[in-house]
Amino acid sequence: TSVQSGPLRVAVVGASEVGKSALTVRYLTKRYIGEYRSDTDMLYKCVLQVDGAPQSVEIMDTSASSDKTSDPNLPWAEAFVVVYSITDKESYQRAATTVQELSERRASASVLLVGNKSDLGHLREVEEVEARTLALTHAARFAELSTAESCTSVSEVVDNFLKEVKAQRNG
């Protein structure tokens, strides 16, 4: 179908202040700036190398203020990056609810659960094993990482995820 040959559409969702914008900008530009607009959704359209071939990709960095696009079941997207902060238990609970809802309502969507801010281990409120287990239960991918400190892990984790989304589409 035309959908399958169109862009890979990825929504970045989660509680506010967990680093959705930082992660998105880090992935797309390799840079970490630190402060981002949080009052609006941002839609990035680009062509990326996915599994060795050019692929158009659209990434929506959602914001809390937009009801429409902060809907985790956002029909626009075929893949979801669900972000929480390891320093914020509430953000994890919200992410867990989203992952569960997606597995119930959007079974064909690919999901990547990201525990961000792993550089702040001294403020940790969420155990890695708990999140990893949740992801496994719902056939989601999982990574803990620091958008602030590591460019490489953000690239690797998201590159691998996009590869899987593409493979799922073609498979």
Judged by the rule CB under 6 A, the positions of this chain that interact with ligand GDP are 16-22, 34-36, 38, 116-117, 119-120, 146-148
Give the shortest CB-117-to-ligand GDP separation in angstroms.
Answer: 4
Dihedral pair phi/psi, residue 85, rounded to 5°: -105, 135
Give the total of residues touching Mg ion (CB under 5 A).
3
16's tokens? 């506010």
Element housing 85 (H / E): strand 79-85
Furthest-apart CA atoms within the chain: distance in Å = 49
138's tokens? 């719902």
Binding residue for Mg ion (CB under 5 A) from 12, 15, 21, 81? 21
Question: Which CB, 50 or 145, lies closer to Mg ion?
Answer: 145
Give the shortest CB-153-to-ligand GDP separation in angstroms.
Answer: 10
Dihedral pair phi/psi, residue 7, rounded to 5°: -60, 150
Examine residue 38 and tell whether it contacts Mg ion (CB under 5 A): yes
Examine residue 29 and tell whether it contacts Mg ion (CB under 5 A): no
Of 19-27, 73-81, 89-97, 105-113, the segment contacting Mg ion by CB under 5 A is: 19-27
With CB cut-offs between 5 and 8 Å by kind, which of ligand GDP, Mg ion, none does residue 117 bind? ligand GDP
Q: Are 113 and 141 in contact (CB under 8 A)?
A: yes
72's tokens? 């985790």
| Angle (deg, nearest 10), helices 89-105 and 128-137 | 10
Examine residue 87 and tell whether it contacts Mg ion (CB under 5 A): no
140's tokens? 């989601």
Kindly list the residues in this chain that would bind Mg ion in the complex (CB under 5 A).
Answer: 20-21, 38
